[in-house]
Structure 1
């Protein structure tokens, strides 16, 4: 009987170790991959945002320095143009994000062969 109890303990210990390894494999591994994915997304978002702000600033400076049209009473126009450029970038980004993509699920891509068999039999 003592040998059976130690065998049962070994089985329970092995099962617990197997369960722990499975949980780590199925949760921690994918979460690390997701963290990497999110990190690259954040880095990309910061880069694109910085580029948009610098492009708006460049537009303001070009309109101020290279044209003589926006002096005195019209000095606010370059700032409006830069703000409009940033607003356009925001609108285009939101529109691109919210655009619905077609469903590419496997069920819709490859119909059930049984459906075709019944259609052929009816014809």
Structure 2
């Protein structure tokens, strides 16, 4: 299956969200979404996205958003998170946290790569 995973970002576990925000602004990133008072921001530079999360993640993780482009606009065509999960399971990759394959709408699951890096497949539609 050639998966349509949607927008890609790196989600970072940061110690000081304000310091991280200022740091990435020096690379040309600006706030795209999120809420500084709730300790999370999505920063954007062209099509590059970085999520900053203070006190929310155990580790940094890769994030894919099926159904969204890099501007969080709905895509006309995408692979549903449940279809992606089923395909990965068929290939021997089993999620740490699964989505109910009988459900519909927004959902997500996490898999871990061979080096222990978590990958979040997070569908918002």
Give TM-score scaled by structure 1 length: 0.18
Q: Determine which structure has the larger helix proportion and give its number.
A: 1
Higher relative contact order (CA 8 A, sep 6+): 2
Give TM-score scaled by structure 2 length: 0.18
| Largest Rg, 1 or 2 | 1
Q: Determine which structure has the larger strand proportion and give its number.
A: 2
